[in-house]
A and B are shown apart, each in its own frame.
Chain A
Amino acid sequence: MSAAAVIADRPEDHPLLDVDRLTIAVRTRHKHASVVRDVSLSVGVGEALGIVGESGSGKSLTLRALLGVLPKGTEVASGSISYRGDMLVSDGRQTDRMRSLRGREIGMVFQDATSALDPVIRVGDQINESVRRHTALGRRASNARTIELMDRMGIPDSRRRVRQYPHEFSGGMRQRVMIAMAIACNPSLLLCDEPTTALDVTTQTEILDLLAELRREQGLAVIFVSHDLGVVADVCERVCVMYCGQIIEAGPRAEVFDAPRHPYTLGLIESAPDIEAPSPALVAIPGEAPDATAPPAGCRFNPRCPMPLEECRSGGFPLIQIPGDRATACIRHERTGSLRHRSGPEAESA
Chain B
Amino acid sequence: MTTVPAETIAAPPWNSSLRRIVGRSWTLTAGVILVGLVVGVAVFAPYLAPYNPIRQNLTHLLQNPGHAHRLGADQFGRDVLSRILVGTRTDLEIAVGATCLAFLIGGSVGLLSGYIGGVFDTIVMRIVDIVMAFPFYVLIITLVFVLGSGLASIYGALVGVGWVSYARIVRGETMIARNQDYVVAARQTGLSGKRVLLGHILPNVITQPIVYAMSDIVNVVLTIVTLGFLGLGVQPPTPEWGSMIADGSAFLTNHWTLATFPAIAVMITGFGFSLLGDGIAEVIEGE
> In the complex, A touching B, CB below 8 Å?
yes
Where the two chains meet, the residues of A that have a C-beta atom closer than 8 Å to any C-beta of B are: 284-288, 348-349
Are A288 and B1 interface neighbours, CB within 8 A? Answer: no
**B2 in the interface (beta carbon within 8 A):** yes
**Residue from the set A284, A288, A348, A349 with the largest chain B CB neighbour count within 10 Å:** A288
For A349, what are the chain B residues with a Cβ–Cβ distance below 8 Å?
A: 2
For A287, what are the chain B residues with a Cβ–Cβ distance below 8 Å?
A: 2, 5
For B4, what are the chain A residues with a Cβ–Cβ distance below 8 Å?
A: 288
Cα–Cα, bound, A288→B8 (Å): 8
Cα–Cα, bound, A19→B285 (Å): 37
**Chain B contacts with A in 1-56, Cβ cutoff 8 A:** 1-2, 4-5, 8
Cα–Cα, bound, A348→B5 (Å): 17
Cα–Cα, bound, A253→B5 (Å): 33
Task: Report, nearest first, the 7 A-B pairs whose CB atoms are least far apart.
Answer: A286-B2, A288-B8, A284-B2, A348-B1, A288-B4, A287-B5, A287-B2
In the complex, the chain A residue whose C-beta lies closest to that of B20 is: A30
**Residue from the set B1, B2, B5, B8 with the largest chain A CB neighbour count within 10 Å:** B2
Q: Interface size bucket, B side?
A: under 10
For B5, what are the chain A residues with a Cβ–Cβ distance below 8 Å?
A: 287-288
For B1, what are the chain A residues with a Cβ–Cβ distance below 8 Å?
A: 348
Count CB-based A-B contacts (< 8 Å).
11
Cα–Cα, bound, A349→B5 (Å): 16
For A286, what are the chain B residues with a Cβ–Cβ distance below 8 Å?
A: 2
- From residue B94, how far is it (CB to closest CB) to chain A in Å? 40
In the complex, the chain A residue whose C-beta lies closest to that of B5 is: A287
Can you list 11 pairs linking A and B with CB atoms under 8 Å apart? A284-B2, A285-B2, A286-B2, A287-B2, A287-B5, A288-B4, A288-B5, A288-B8, A348-B1, A348-B2, A349-B2
- From residue B12, how far is it (CB to closest CB) to chain A in Å? 15
For B2, what are the chain A residues with a Cβ–Cβ distance below 8 Å?
A: 284-287, 348-349
Given contacts A287-B2, A288-B8, 5 further A-B contacts (CB under 8 A): A284-B2, A287-B5, A288-B4, A288-B5, A348-B1
Cα–Cα, bound, A348→B4 (Å): 15
Cα–Cα, bound, A287→B1 (Å): 10
Cα–Cα, bound, A287→B4 (Å): 6
- From residue B22, how far is it (CB to closest CB) to chain A in Å? 14
Cα–Cα, bound, A318→B8 (Å): 26
Cα–Cα, bound, A288→B5 (Å): 8
- From residue B18, how far is it (CB to closest CB) to chain A in Å? 17
Cα–Cα, bound, A254→B4 (Å): 33
For A285, what are the chain B residues with a Cβ–Cβ distance below 8 Å?
A: 2
Cα–Cα, bound, A285→B5 (Å): 13
- From residue A272, how far is it (CB to closest CB) to chain B in Å? 15
In the complex, the chain A residue whose C-beta lies closest to that of B1 is: A348
- From residue B236, how far is it (CB to closest CB) to chain A in Å? 52
In the complex, the chain A residue whose C-beta lies closest to that of B4 is: A288
Cα–Cα, bound, A285→B1 (Å): 10
In the complex, the chain B residue whose C-beta lies closest to that of A289 is: B8
- From residue A112, how far is it (CB to closest CB) to chain B in Å? 20
Cα–Cα, bound, A225→B2 (Å): 28
For B8, what are the chain A residues with a Cβ–Cβ distance below 8 Å?
A: 288
- From residue B100, how far is it (CB to closest CB) to chain A in Å? 35
For A284, what are the chain B residues with a Cβ–Cβ distance below 8 Å?
A: 2
In the complex, the chain B residue whose C-beta lies closest to that of A348 is: B1
Cα–Cα, bound, A348→B1 (Å): 7
- From residue A303, how far is it (CB to closest CB) to chain B in Å? 8
Cα–Cα, bound, A349→B2 (Å): 8
- From residue A72, how far is it (CB to closest CB) to chain B in Å? 14
- From residue B35, how far is it (CB to closest CB) to chain A in Å? 25
Cα–Cα, bound, A349→B3 (Å): 11
For A348, what are the chain B residues with a Cβ–Cβ distance below 8 Å?
A: 1-2
- From residue B69, how far is it (CB to closest CB) to chain A in Å? 48
Cα–Cα, bound, A284→B4 (Å): 13
- From residue B154, how far is it (CB to closest CB) to chain A in Å? 45
Cα–Cα, bound, A181→B8 (Å): 41
Cα–Cα, bound, A286→B3 (Å): 8
In the complex, the chain B residue whose C-beta lies closest to that of A284 is: B2
In the complex, the chain A residue whose C-beta lies closest to that of B9 is: A288
- From residue A284, how far is it (CB to closest CB) to chain B in Å? 5
- From residue B34, how far is it (CB to closest CB) to chain A in Å? 24
- From residue B278, how far is it (CB to closest CB) to chain A in Å? 18
Cα–Cα, bound, A288→B9 (Å): 11
Cα–Cα, bound, A192→B2 (Å): 33
- From residue B224, how far is it (CB to closest CB) to chain A in Å? 40
- From residue B42, how far is it (CB to closest CB) to chain A in Å? 35
- From residue A263, how far is it (CB to closest CB) to chain B in Å? 15
- From residue B11, how far is it (CB to closest CB) to chain A in Å? 16
Cα–Cα, bound, A348→B2 (Å): 8
- From residue A54, how far is it (CB to closest CB) to chain B in Å? 15
Cα–Cα, bound, A144→B66 (Å): 81
- From residue B52, how far is it (CB to closest CB) to chain A in Å? 50
- From residue B101, how far is it (CB to closest CB) to chain A in Å? 39
